[in-house]
Structure 1
């Protein structure tokens, strides 16, 4: 990072091990000496009237953009008064110190916050524009660690977190520099994310056409009788999934209460594994043999289909032989098919836009989304002849592999830009680069003749 930017002429020891040397004229301070913050609260959630109002009330989930102009939830005047909450003025810097630790946003309007957000006020001795970049880097270094290895913060730890204090003018210059440079990087990241989204849409379109229209453009078509499915090739079978389940089998979800995680025992696949596509045996959570024995119908054999029915709804995989004997969690269903339907074809079918629409119409649950086993049983599927299923899978796989390679490259580019952004911020706020003489490029307003 210092190759493109010059370092400061003189440095000194910071006295902080992880920080190392700092510019000679900078000082090491603590948050409590530089700025003040306040913490909000959550009104009683069982009283609906508390959330029937017009007052903005920020949660961690609202801290997405640089500036917050609206919040997902709002509270009443009565709720704010009963909870004795102080309003967070427009322009304050919001910092999350629970769950998504280190996320920051500015308040675009006066608002209240919950107890997981520290609101840094304008009365700071250093510009909030500078602290916007500094707090995520420095505060987390003073966090403690819980028994699970997660970093946790409280108000006292925040107050005593170290930060570096350049002059006010220099701090503002650093903020201006980072505003300009990170905006350029953010634009590049956004372009990659847009490309990835378009590629994912194209990927689903390829699947949808293959499993609902087939590969022969001249094949006679007929109405499937299902609104969300549309027309299908005339020679294909259209039926409910329950009609092609292997005799003696049933669509079954897995273990409801697996107990505490164990070092040894029977591994089981959870919704997190389904969402990530990670089925490494060493990474699977384990339960006791006694608990697993109570769920024989969800014991995997290899070759069948597993489907996410809770949280990661619709994510589906063919079970590899390496998972033989593994069980499932409550959020995953096991599907064993008759010989006339390929597991690979069904997984492909589950990835179509038509099926996504079906799940969308069938979701239930307020805390988290899920679909019932009955919903899975009743889904309409298309069934080409077995040899055509194989051809569809092979040709579609080749097309998807090409798209996936482009997506992978775009993800790598996105990761590179994100790492560069993080490194640039770190270098600037720790004094590894000197940006005091940086000037924003002049905008060329001269129109071409």
Structure 2
């Protein structure tokens, strides 16, 4: 790893998002360093379809591009290796996307994006890192006046930035390439580990709620495809006999606050807060809409459940914690309907799913066992997710501090 120190002499750059910079660095306006690319893909001369996703420009299959017809690509822009692509649309609604990508090959990309071509190609990677740092600071959201849905090149080209000498740029780019590659490897390893632990957790839950804890128990065929063998003394029931289910009530977005007295739960966890509640006690909430429909949350206290959540309460003879693990083990997402714009689960569909069901004593034993082992696994997952967050935060600060002269790479 290269040694990092600070510059001895600094000055105020006069640029709010950058602050102080080394005294010999020079301030530029973006239009002095780039031109806008508007080379249309006439007659489909280029067929290497590219897309900007999570800050990376990736290839897509031109023969199955999410419903677009081949004729649509006439209006796409041809971009080259070293071009910088900005996604400056949907600024009002999307505050999480990474909006800057660097092209590493020739191809075509939607003209809805703004493409910049550095006048001096030796600046490409450095300018990318600099604009990426600006993006990480959410700088694009503050450009222009008022609430903006999007920006155009005429506005972005006025962005003021700083550049060091060419030899410094080369050193910084090499350093960031190496450091970011190492950090990305660690992040990817941690994410893969999280996925494996989640998979392991799911398999433990499934085995416990469908096979029980006694490996010597007599088994029989459940005649339920996703379960297979089950303990011979267990029963089979539709979910409607194990719990009551009803959809929550609608709240418009304007009624939901960032802070307040009672939490509001949608189909995928907490959405905000509201001054009233429509449920009190301990319940399970099943998400009923979207790609993650079928997820299950255990909720306790006073809360508001929206129409995107199925509020579920155990009946007599059913232990709530066991029901929670049973619903998780059933993978309810498999029953989602795809007939609408997004996947969805109806209350009727969920209620009529058949599943296995043990006596109350075994329910308690199973839920106690799963509480302990899942707590241990969840702690490991939480630690790894904290590591991912720390690595991502470190990477962001490393890029920003290096390209704005807060750190000197020797």
Assess, with a 3 A threshold, how the Cα gap between structure 1 residues 152 and 112 changes in structure 2: closer, same or farther. Answer: closer
Deviation, 1:11, is 2.0
Cα distance in 1 between the residues matched to 2:145 and 2:204: 46
| 8 Å contact kept, 1:31–1:163 | yes
Alpha-carbon contact 1:244-1:338 (below 8 Å) kept: yes
CA deviation after TM superposition for structure 1 residue 102, in Å:
3.0
Q: Secondary structure at the match of 1:319?
A: strand
- Decide whether the 8 Å contact of 1:63 with 1:103 is kept in 2: no
Equivalent residues in 2 for 1:361-372, closer than 5 Å: 361-365=335-339, 367-372=341-346
Higher strand fraction: Structure 1 or Structure 2?
2
Residue 269 (str. 1) matches residue 264 (str. 2): yes
Tell me whether 375-384 or 252-261 shows the greater mean CA deviation.
252-261
Paired with 1:347 and 1:365, the residues of 2 have a C-alpha distance of: 27
In structure 2, the residue matched to 1:396 is 370
Give the distance between the partners of 2:340 and 2:47, measured in 1 at CA: 24
Q: Mapping of 1:121-136 within 5 angstroms?
A: 121-124=117-120, 127-136=123-132
Which of 388, 391, 405 is the equivalent residue of 1:417? 391
Answer yes or no: is 1:255 the counterpart of 2:255: no
In structure 2, the CA distance between the partners of 1:310 and 1:387, relative to structure 1 (3 Å rule), is: same
User: How far apart are the structure 2 equivalents of 1:63 and 1:344?
Assistant: 39
Query: Residues 369 and 142 (structure 1 numbering): CA distance in 2 closer, same or farther, change over 3 Å?
Result: closer
CA distance in 1: counterparts of 2:45 and 2:356, whole angstroms? 49
Q: 1:22 to 1:90 in 2, by over 3 A?
A: closer
State TM-score, norm by structure 2.
0.84
Shift of 1:178: 0.4
Counterpart residue number, 2:279: 300
CA separation in 2, counterparts of 1:69 and 1:275?
31
Unmatched 5+ stretches in structure 2: none
| 1:382 lines up with 2:361 in the alignment | no
Per-residue CA deviations over 1:349-376 (Å, capped at 9, x if unaligned) read 1222xx22x5225332453221122221
Are 1:108 and 2:105 an aligned pair?
Answer: yes
Instruction: Output the aligned Cα RMSD.
Output: 3.4
SS of 2:7's partner is: coil
Alignment partner, residue 319 of structure 2: 342
Matched ranges for 1:6-85 at <5 A = 6-38=5-37, 55=47, 58-59=50-51, 62-64=52-54, 66-70=56-60, 72-73=65-66, 75-76=68-69, 78-81=71-74, 83=75, 85=76
Contact preservation (8 Å) 1:22, 1:431: yes
How far did residue 330 of structure 1 move?
2.0
Aligned to 1:45: none
1: CA distance between counterparts of 2:352 and 2:145? 44
**Aligned equivalents of 1:75, 1:303: Cα separation in 2:** 47
Task: For residues 368-422 of structure 1, give each alpha carbon's deviation from its aligned partner in whole angstroms, at most 9, with x where no partner exists.
Answer: 2211222211222221111211111111110011111111111121122112211
Structure 2 CA distance for aligned equivalents of residues 314 and 40 of structure 1? 46
Q: Which of residues 213, 226, 230 in structure 2 aligns to 1:215?
A: 213
TM-score, normalised with respect to structure 1: 0.77
Structure-1 separation of matches of 2:162 and 2:143: 23
User: Cα–Cα, structure 1 residues 366 and 163, in superposed 2: closer, same or farther, change >3 Å?
Assistant: farther
Q: 1:259 to 1:408 in 2, by over 3 A?
A: closer
1:94 aligned onto 2:94: no
**Kindly tell me: are residues 161 and 20 of structure 1, through their superposed partners in 2, closer, same or farther at Cα, counting changes over 3 Å?**
same
Cα distance in 2, alignment partners of residues 226 and 403 from structure 1: 29
Q: Which runs of 5+ in 1 are unaligned?
A: 42-51, 293-298, 438-449
Instruction: Work out which of the residue numbers 133, 149, 160 in structure 2 matches 1:137.
Output: 133
